[in-house]
Amino acid sequence: MTFEAFNNGQCIFSSEKHWLYPIFEFEEFLQKWNGDRSTLIVRDKIIGRAAALLLIRLGIRQIHGLTISRLAIEILDYFQVHYTFDSEITRIACQTETILETSFDPEQAWQLIRDRISRAKSDRPQ
């Protein structure tokens, strides 16, 4: 399991991709889905600060992480999102966690990560 979203106990979306790509796929899914986002439960393998900010931006109010960083907890507490986790770590060894270490702005986080994805795609050999 990498990323799953549940509505009334039923899995409505899942992705095995890595990093933050599942959240961007989920965003596309939600553009066509007509349900109440605030009742969805998202489960992810790792919840860091970037994932927390992106999920808040999508209106998700309930999150479970197999592993969660203290930087993510800071964000989830700030936005009063209900969360559970199996294990807690100080921080995720990821550049994005460091870049967003002091950010509380979901829109800014989304833009920064989209820019990083665009740069990564343009740096790939054709």
The answer to whether residue 125 sits within a structural domain is: no
Percent of the chain predicted with pLDDT > 90: 85
Residue carrying structure tokens 């489960």? 43
Helix (H, G, I), strand (E, B) or coil at 15: strand
The answer to whether residue 123 sits within a structural domain is: no
Domain count, the chain: 1
The answer to whether residue 92 sits within a structural domain is: yes
Residue 121 has pLDDT above 90, yes or no: no
Which pLDDT value is given to residue 120?
76
State the DSSP H helix or E strand holding residue 47, giving kind and residue range, or none if neither. Answer: strand 41-47
**Cα gap 118→115, rounded to integer Å:** 5
Q: Tell me the average pLDDT across 12-33.
A: 95
| pTM summary value | 0.92
Q: Tell me the average pLDDT across 24-43.
A: 96
Q: What is the CATH number of the domain that holds 74?
A: 3.40.140.30
pLDDT in tens, 38-68: 999 999 999 999 999 999 999 999 999 999 9
The answer to whether residue 100 sits within a structural domain is: yes
Name the residue range of residue 62's domain: 3-116
The Cα-based distances of 90 to 5, 29, 93 in angstroms read 25, 31, 10
